[in-house]
């Protein structure tokens, strides 16, 4: 007879689920955790106080605004250690006034970290730029690429005169960088910094997947420009030379 102290059930009690610690690597991530341990040991061996210093501060001189493409890792390309470059990445390295994420990164980099340089870094063979060149794309990615697609229409006359589709794509990657630097130069965070005399230089760079080299598109800006004239001059200089990837 049941004494009422325990619930009556016909189903057998299932065995408890094995507890998986969130700190233990699932199989798929095993190699990453192994690599991480090796890396941390190597950093400690080369500089015993490396992590102590990182914990106490970060004072990067650079903000990198690049593409999310896995082949363009910011720190590695320019040989900078953790703590030396602040990074924002998105598809096709865009600076959008309505992108709160990007705007917050830029504002924090300028106002709190006092970075001296902001680099917009495009790359040849960018899938986002190629998709925008091909025309309207459905879905969220297509929505995200609308601005790049618009730039494609702004420069349509000169782009359409390029017979080689690869050269046209290279040129579009370069144009996108210049247009993004132009957008950057108009942001309130940037203009306010220049107006209060804070040293800040903007750069437009492009990376070659095929040779691992970074090229300067010659679009550096260190003061509030007369934006339209600056943009015109930057574009004129770009069209005056062959794409750097050729």
Which entry of 102, 117, 126, 173 is annotated as an active-site residue?
A: 126
What number of residues does the chain have?
246
Q: Residue 74: how many CB atoms within 10 A of its CB?
A: 20
- The candidate with the shortest Cα–Cα distance to 87, out of 108, 70, 66, is 66
Q: Which residue of the set 42, 44, 61, 71 is catalytic?
A: 71
Query: What would the x/- binding string for Zn ion be over residues 29 to 68, using CB under 5 A?
Result: --------------------------------------x-
Q: From the candidates 88, 123, 152, 171, give the one annotated as an active-site residue.
A: 123
Backbone torsions φ then ψ of 57, nearest 5 degrees: -165, 160
Q: How many residues bind Zn ion (CB under 5 A)?
A: 4
In 3-state terms, what secondary structure has residue 41?
Answer: helix
Strands 201-207 and 214-216: antiparallel
Minimum gap (Å) between residue 102 Cβ and Zn ion: 15
Nearest distance from C-beta of residue 126 to Zn ion, angstroms: 3
Which helix (H) or strand (E) segment holds residue 117: the answer is: strand 117-123
Does the active-site annotation cover 123?
yes
Q: Does 69 bind Zn ion (CB under 5 A)?
A: yes
Window contacting Zn ion (CB under 5 A); options: 10-18, 124-132, 147-155, 205-213: 124-132
Is 71 one of the catalytic residues? yes
Nearest CA to 177 among 208, 141, 223, 200?
Answer: 208
173 is an active site residue: no
Spell out the residues 6+ positions from residue 79 whose beta carbon is closer than 8 angstroms to its own.
none
Minimum CB–partner distance for residue 36 and Zn ion (Å): 26
CB of 105 to Zn ion, least distance (A): 18
Is 206 a binding residue for Zn ion by CB under 5 A? The answer is no
Q: Are 146 and 137 in contact (CB under 8 A)?
A: no
Does position 126 interact with Zn ion (CB under 5 A)? The reply is yes
For Zn ion, give the closer residue by CB, 179 or 193.
179
Calpha distance 175→133 (Å, rounded)? 12
Distances (CA, A) of 52 to 2, 44, 59, 85: 62, 10, 14, 18
The site map against Zn ion for 127-156 (x = CB under 5 A) is: -x----------------------------
- Looking at the Cβ atoms of 69 and 149, the one nearer to Zn ion is 69
Binding site for Zn ion (CB under 5 A): 67, 69, 126, 128
List, by residue number, the catalytic residues: 67, 69, 71, 123, 126
């Amino acid at each position: 007879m049941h004494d009422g102290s325990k619930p009556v059930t016909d189903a057998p009690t299932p065995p408890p689920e094995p507890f998986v610690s969130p700190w233990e690597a699932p199989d798929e991530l095993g190699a990453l955790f192994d690599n991480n341990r090796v890396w941390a040991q190597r950093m400690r061996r080369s500089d015993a106080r490396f992590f102590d210093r990182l914990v106490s501060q970060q004072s990067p001189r650079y903000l990198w605004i690049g593409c999310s493409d896995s082949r363009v890792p910011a720190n590695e390309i320019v040989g900078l250690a953790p703590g030396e470059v602040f990074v924002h990445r998105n598809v096709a390295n865009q600076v959008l006034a309505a992108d709160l994420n990007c705007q917050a990164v830029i504002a924090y980099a300028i106002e709190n970290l006092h970075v001296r340089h902001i680099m917009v870094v495009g790359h040849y063979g960018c899938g986002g730029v190629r998709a925008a060149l091909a025309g309207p794309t459905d879905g969220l990615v297509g929505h995200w690429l609308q601005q790049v697609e618009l730039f494609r229409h702004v420069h349509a006359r000169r782009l359409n005169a390029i017979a080689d589709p690869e050269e046209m794509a290279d040129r579009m990657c370069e144009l996108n960088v210049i247009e993004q630097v132009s957008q950057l130069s108009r942001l309130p965070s940037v203009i306010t910094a220049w107006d209060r005399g804070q040293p800040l230089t903007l750069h437009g760079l492009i990376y070659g997947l095929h040779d691992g080299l970074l090229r300067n598109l010659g679009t550096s800006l260190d003061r509030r420009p007369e934006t339209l004239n600056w943009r015109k001059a930057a574009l004129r200089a770009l069209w005056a030379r062959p794409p750097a990837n050729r």
